[in-house]
Amino acid sequence: MTAIIALVGRPNVGKSTFFNRLTRTREALVADFPGLTRDRHYGTAQFEGHQYLVVDTGGFEPEEREGLVAAMAVQTRLAITEADAVCFLVDAKEGLSAQDAEIAEELRRGGKPIYLVVNKMDAKGAVSELPEFHRLGLGMPYTISAAHGHGVEPLLEAIFSDLPNPEDEAAAAAAGKGPRIAMLGRPNVGKSTLVNAMLGEKRVLVFDEPGTTRDSIRIPYERQGKPYVMIDTAGMRRRARVGEGLEKLSVLKTLSALREADVVLLVLDARLGIAEQDSHLVGVAVELGRPIVVVVNKWDGMNPEQRKAVKQELERRLNFIKYAPIYTISALHGTGVGDLYKSIDQLWIDSRRHFSTGELNRALADVIETHQPPMVGGRRIKLRYCHQGGENPITLVFHGNQVARLPGTYKRYLESAFRRALHLEAVPLRLVFRQGENPYDPQLKKGKH
């Protein structure tokens, strides 16, 4: 499972700065959901091979009982409940406050691993001694400067040394199981009906396994002798009984399900079309590199003109995932479900394919012969070497000269050409470009001795 780290603290202690430091926001996936704690921020991050989710909560004032501040406190508590670890930020410049003590007391009652983080240690007037923060009773404080990155690495090392090894968990979860399928979509588009249709009358249901504390449900089962795992996110959007009737959306659960999934089914209601939330969920899956199948449900209730309009809307709104297969079904009657499984099985295979370096470089030579990279500043950009850097998503790493100046049009040409050459028409393909010569060139190795 992907770890979730919540950033908690009173207002203006540097949580958002720390969030940006961890996620490198311009590169990371950041999901902003208006209406949740005045735009609660969620992002993905990496540290020494660990991928994790981080949530930046609003300023926490646990004693408030009314108004927006109280609603923000409710949302912060939800984030704490769903987190695997909590970073409690305090301000070295302002020192310990009564509000810090209130937050510490609530965090102790929650029972989650708490890491006391003293931020702004580089600020003028910051405390040089930490005994006052020891009084919070949360163990040894970690001192950092979120603005400059000082002290962040030791903190993350401590967090990940305490958390379970995700590789061990993933290996255990995958043992004897096939594709993990996440089903996403807005309420009332027919997700639950489709889950039942996909499990089917002929299924061999192994067991219903409550997942993590994040409440995701995994349903291992078999179909025609093949193992699958359904990650059920049904009910991911619920009406909360708080304050001004805010909607509680378990964003963390959804992001975690997307990270865990091998194939994502985005379920749409043919009558309702595509909403902003649908587009956002697709964008999340794309950023994470997960294969996507667009499932248009309730197709049987549409007349020819309506079907034509829906297809046009899909082409327009989902233009950024032209590679994703689209299926029209009726979950209620079970029509089209068999075709879904064919697509899932193929995507599962394709997203895990391994290509030899020789095969990739032969393809690269053919691609360049057909259409060379452009000239920049009087010199032609050269792509010298390609190798596979990962799977799900399949990642191709290109080495060459001036690759940073390679235009987007040529990158799109490369992606399209390699899709055809490698027969990867329906799965995400990620291209990475690195400046430099072929690291495996024997001539280069000789020159280093």
Q: Any known ligand binding at 186?
A: yes
Residue 89: what pLDDT? Answer: 96
Rounded distance between C-alpha atoms, residue 166 and residue 159, angstroms: 13
Rounded distance between C-alpha atoms, residue 440 and residue 99, angstroms: 58
Q: Any known ligand binding at 11?
A: yes
- What average pLDDT does range 334-363 have in this prediction? 93
Q: Choose between 13 and 441: higher pLDDT.
A: 13
Residue 4: what pLDDT? Answer: 86
Q: Any known ligand binding at 165?
A: no
- What average pLDDT does range 146-161 have in this prediction? 94
DSSP label of 372: P
Q: Choose between 220 and 35: higher pLDDT.
A: 220
**pLDDT tens profile 108-129:** 988 899 999 999 988 665 555 5
**pLDDT tens profile 55-108:** 888 778 766 666 666 767 777 887 888 789 999 999 998 889 999 999 999 999
Q: Any known ligand binding at 338?
A: no
Each domain of the chain, given as residue ranges in start order, spans 3-167, 176-350, 357-447
Contact 128, 141 (CB under 8 A): no
The CATH number of 176-350 is 3.40.50.300
Q: pTM of the entire structure? A: 0.62
Rounded distance between C-alpha atoms, residue 423 and residue 446, angstroms: 37
DSSP label of 323: T
Contact 96, 135 (CB under 8 A): yes
The CATH number of 3-167 is 3.40.50.300
Q: Any known ligand binding at 303?
A: no
Tell me which H or E stretch contains 73: helix 67-82
Q: Any known ligand binding at 336?
A: no
DSSP label of 448: T
Rounded distance between C-alpha atoms, residue 212 and residue 44, angstroms: 19
Q: Any known ligand binding at 59?
A: yes
Domain 357-447: state its class: alpha beta
Residue 129: what pLDDT? Answer: 57
**pLDDT tens profile 75-87:** 788 788 878 999 9
- Token match 């499972």: residue? 1
Q: Any known ligand binding at 235?
A: yes
Q: Any known ligand binding at 345?
A: no
Residue 265: what pLDDT? Answer: 94
Q: Express as a percent the part of the chain with pLDDT over 70.
A: 78
Q: Any known ligand binding at 58?
A: yes
User: What is the side-by-side order of every strand in the sheet holding 3-8?
Assistant: 30-33, 40-47, 50-56, 3-8, 85-91, 114-119, 142-143
Q: Any known ligand binding at 299?
A: yes
Tell me which H or E stretch contains 384: strand 382-390
Q: Do domains 3-167 and 176-350 have the same CATH topology?
A: yes
Q: Any known ligand binding at 300?
A: yes
Q: Any known ligand binding at 319?
A: no
Q: How far, in Å, are 235, 293, 331 from residue 269 at the CA level?
A: 16, 14, 11
Residue 192: what pLDDT? Answer: 79
- What average pLDDT does range 206-235 have in this prediction? 60
Q: Omega before 227 cis (within 30°)?
A: no
Contact 147, 239 (CB under 8 A): no
- Token match 């708490």: residue? 114
- What average pLDDT does range 385-414 have in this prediction? 93
Tell me which H or E stretch contains 90: strand 85-91
Q: Could you give the 3-state DSSP secondary structure of residue 145?
A: strand
Q: Any known ligand binding at 447?
A: no
Q: Choose between 79 and 313: higher pLDDT.
A: 313
What is the residue type of 403?
V
Q: Is the pLDDT of residue 260 over 80?
A: yes
Q: Omega before 393 cis (within 30°)?
A: yes
Q: Any known ligand binding at 121?
A: yes
Q: Any known ligand binding at 301?
A: no
Q: Any known ligand binding at 15?
A: yes
Residue 207: what pLDDT? Answer: 36
Rounded distance between C-alpha atoms, residue 380 and residue 172, angstroms: 49
- What average pLDDT does range 13-18 have in this prediction? 90
Q: Is the pLDDT of residue 34 over 50?
A: no
Burial class (CB in 10 A: 0-12, 13-18, 19+), 189: buried
Angle CA 206–212–215, to nearest 5: 90
Q: Any known ligand binding at 9?
A: yes
Contacts 24+ apart (CB under 8 A), 44-50: 44/255, 44/259, 44/287, 44/288, 47/156, 47/160, 48/156, 48/157, 48/160, 50/3, 50/160, 50/166
Contact 89, 8 (CB under 8 A): yes
- What average pLDDT does range 408-426 have in this prediction? 94
47 CB-near residues (< 8 Å, 6+ apart): 156, 160
Q: Is the pLDDT of residue 444 over 60?
A: no
Q: Any known ligand binding at 361?
A: no
Helix axes 152-162, 15-23, angle to 10 degrees: 80
Q: Could you give the 3-state DSSP secondary structure of residue 380?
A: strand
Contact 402, 376 (CB under 8 A): yes
Q: Any known ligand binding at 191?
A: yes
Q: Any known ligand binding at 35?
A: no
Q: Any known ligand binding at 384?
A: no
How many residues belong to the chain? 449
246 CB-near residues (< 8 Å, 6+ apart): 35, 36, 71, 74, 75, 240
